[in-house]
Amino acid sequence: MAAPVGTGARAEDSGHEKQDFQEKESVIPERAEEAKLKAKYPNLGQKPGGSDFLMKRLQKGQKYFDSGDYNMAKAKMKNKQLPTAGPDKNLVTGDHIPKPQDLPQRKSSLVASKLAG
Amino acid sequence: MAGVAGGGGNGNDFQWCFSQVKGAVDEDVAEADIISTVEFNYSGDLLATGDKGGRVVIFQREQENKSRPHSRGEYNVYSTFQSHEPEFDYLKSLEIEEKINKIRWLPQQNAAHFLLSTNDKTIKLWKISERDKRAEGYNLKDEDGRLRDPFKITALRVPILKPMDLMVEASPRRIFANAHTYHINSISVNSDHETYLSADDLRINLWHLEITDRSFNIVDIKPANMEELTEVITAAEFHPHHCNVFVYSSSKGTIRLCDMRSSALCDRHSKFFEEPEDPSSRSFFSEIISSISDVKFSHSGRYMMTRDYLSVKVWDLNMENRPVETYQVHEYLRSKLCSLYENDCIFDKFECCWNGSDGAIMTGSYNNFFRMFDRNTRRDITLEASRESSKPRAILKPRKVCTGGKRKKDEINVDSLDFNKKILHTAWHPMENIIAVAATNNLYIFQDKIN
């Protein structure tokens, strides 16, 4: 049974409420996709378009490095290695202290565009 | 084989043919080479592109040559320059990308061409001018440029202008900086040719093209408490004829039309466009896919078009409660939203454009596909920008995506689509049926077939 694809597809009128609900889940592909996502990530927030998501968008490009944290941590761990930044280099520092080598090089592209060549 | 009626307005089908492709062929795409904006100027003779590396390349259409009737006005490089460079805001610990978000041309008023280009934080006005003459015979310096000994000059001469090889120079004439806390997503030149707006996630500013140290804030949707933030501005544009009217779209799928005559701060809209949602179809993805990624007025000024993740909608400015036309771009993706959320593709920002007569609209999709809709015949077509169909004047074959198990010959299954090949930026010549399509680091130009 091919699910009709479209915006706001309504569940078919049927006498059986339970069947109604199940049909709705399969009739609306978005809901099925939502169920898939929730199954994979059970802790996913309730409001996807809400504050957290938008705040992340507004903070694009933010790089944190606190020299105070860095120097304190260096003083604390005289001989030991400083904890290095994990795979997510954009984490707020504190425990994760990026070394200069970890920071992505800021390139400046003075090379001509290949569209012009 | 359906074409889409173009600027002629007489409803004839056109056949789109490959014309040119610009850019490197290699598989390994350098991030800096990714094209981030494409824009024709008002006459269509110039085509500008901006990329992630902060560079602008301008192509100029060659004059049609009687001895080469098939060349039909090819676009060749006219000028290229570094518009923006990467910066670091030390005070805010913020990395500022050099990526060109938008280019907008100014209407031409003299021999030089002017355009506005912007990255996340700074807008620049560039002047592109031609120099084809050079003065010779100066009195105080010789031909090498060295100063002559004034005591040895015994006669005066008048310098004369001699022709030289054409040189196209780009120079930054104005730099409009420090007016945006958030990331600029749009710029739009006003029909008064004196002012323009720039919009970031939460604010819209009005500038005068001559004045760089001041701008007026005309929209501010930043809540007093950032925890209450529910939507951001995604695009903004001035009305093509009414210099007091502009619109801005939001991440919640709404459009607000504002009139600058009503108040200095246009926080209260004059019109509010929103399509009612069917509550029974609401899902986790509803708001994300309703976010509008582009808004464009029609040339007539009577309609506007919005692009959200799955569709393009045409709105009549006189009707706020629903769009007059809705076109599905790639409805087959509705049942793939989970994986598109996981790989972030659901946040891709596609643009859309009108043809010169407002009879057709175009937008991009994945797998280097792009879609065209004819508003009159209601026909649509899917075409592909690929090196395989890049023979000169080769007619583009329509493409089709299938969702089910049975795949017909020449169709492609939705699971085989390459989601890394996205066409986000397209442009349509203001008068003719010539289109520019940006496919990652390559720029394709297609034209309709000459009869």
State both tokens at B348. 């891709």
Q: Which residues of A touch B337 (CB under 8 A)?
A: 29-30, 33-34, 37
Is the C-alpha dihedral spanning B219, B426, B87, A116 positive or negative? negative
Nearest C-alpha neighbor of B296 from the set B372, B235, B359 = B235
From B280, B284, B332, residue closest to A37, measured CB to CB: B284
From A33, A44, A62, residue closest to B335, measured CB to CB: A33
From B55, B252, B331, residue closest to A113, measured CB to CB: B55
Q: Which residues of A touch B342 (CB under 8 A)?
A: 37, 40
Report the side by side order of strands in the sheet with B303-307.
B294-297, B303-307, B311-316, B325-328
Per-residue confidence band for B150, with pLDDT thresholds at 50, 70 and 90: confident
| Residue B73, pLDDT score | 83
Q: Is the pLDDT of residue B208 over 50?
A: yes
| Residue A27, pLDDT score | 62
Q: Do B281 and A28 touch (CB under 8 A)?
A: yes
Nearest C-alpha neighbor of B361 from the set B381, B334, B345 = B381
Mean pLDDT of chain A: 64
Q: Percentage helix, strand, coil, to 5, in chain B?
A: 10, 45, 50
| Residue B5, pLDDT score | 39
Q: Please report the number of interchain residue pairs, chain A to chain B, with beta-carbon separation below 8 angstroms.
A: 148
SS3 A94: coil
pLDDT tens per residue, range B69-95: 665 689 999 999 999 999 988 888 788
| Residue B367, pLDDT score | 97
Q: Do B35 and A7 touch (CB under 8 A)?
A: no
Q: Do A108 and B86 touch (CB under 8 A)?
A: yes
Asked if residues B42 and B430 have their Cβ atoms less than 8 Å apart, the reply is yes
User: CA of B139 to nearest chain A CA: how many angstroms apart?
Assistant: 38
SS3 B415: helix
- The domains of chain B are located at 16-55+181-448
B124 DSSP β-pair partners: B117, B175
pLDDT tens per residue, range B311-345: 999 999 999 999 999 999 999 999 999 999 999 99
pLDDT tens per residue, range B46-62: 999 999 999 999 999 99
Q: Do A61 and B95 touch (CB under 8 A)?
A: yes
Asked if residues B53 and B37 have their Cβ atoms less than 8 Å apart, the reply is no
Distances (CA, A) of B149 to B64, B143, B157: 51, 14, 15
Q: Do A115 and B82 touch (CB under 8 A)?
A: no
> C-alpha angle A104/A108/A113, rounded to 5°?
120
Q: Do B77 and A37 touch (CB under 8 A)?
A: no
| Residue B152, pLDDT score | 86
Q: Do A110 and B22 touch (CB under 8 A)?
A: no
Instruction: Quote the CA–CA distance of B335 and A32 in Å, as a whole number.
Output: 8
Instruction: Quote the CA–CA distance of B359 and B13 in Å, as a whole number.
Output: 12
Q: Do A33 and B182 touch (CB under 8 A)?
A: no
Instruction: Quote the CA–CA distance of A61 and B163 in Å, as a whole number.
Output: 49
| Residue A74, pLDDT score | 73
User: CA of B280 to nearest chain A CA: how many angstroms apart?
Assistant: 7
> What residue in B sits closest to A6 (Cα-Cα)?
B331
Report the side by side order of strands in the sheet with B233-238.
B233-238, B245-250, B255-259, B271-273
- As a whole number, mean pLDDT of residues B272-299 equals 94
Distances (CA, A) of B237 to A58, B30, B215: 21, 31, 17
Per-residue confidence band for A43, with pLDDT thresholds at 50, 70 and 90: confident
| Residue B6, pLDDT score | 38
Q: Which of B80, B281, B312, B342 is the best substitution to test chain A (most A C-beta atoms within 10 A)?
A: B281
| Residue A98, pLDDT score | 60
Nearest C-alpha neighbor of B238 from the set B273, B189, B192 = B189
Query: Cβ of A86 under 8 Å from any chain B Cβ?
Result: no
Q: What is the CA radius of gyration of chain B?
A: 24
Which homologous superfamily does the CATH classification assign to the domain defined by B16-55+181-448? YVTN repeat-like/Quinoprotein amine dehydrogenase (2.130.10.10)
From B57, B335, B338, residue closest to A37, measured CB to CB: B338
pLDDT tens per residue, range A47-103: 555 667 788 788 777 766 677 777 777 777 665 555 554 445 444 445 556 666 666
Residue type present at position B280: S
> What residue in A sits closest to B438 (Cα-Cα)?
A115
B134 DSSP β-pair partners: B162
- As a whole number, mean pLDDT of residues B199-214 equals 98
Q: Do B35 and A40 touch (CB under 8 A)?
A: no
DSSP assignment of B339-396 equals HHHHTTGGG----EEE-TTSSEEEEE-BTTEEEEEETTT--EEEEE--GGG-STTPBP
Phi, psi of B294 (to 5 degrees): -155, 145
Q: Is the pLDDT of residue B358 over 70?
A: yes
Instruction: Quote the CA–CA distance of B439 and B443 in Å, as a whole number.
Output: 6
- As a whole number, mean pLDDT of residues B350-362 equals 98
Q: Do B230 and A65 touch (CB under 8 A)?
A: no
Q: Is the pLDDT of residue B348 over 90?
A: yes
Query: Cβ of A63 under 8 Å from any chain B Cβ?
Result: yes
Contacts of B451 (CB under 8 A, 6+ apart): none
- The domains of chain A are located at 28-60
Instruction: Quote the CA–CA distance of A46 and A69 in Å, as a whole number.
Output: 34
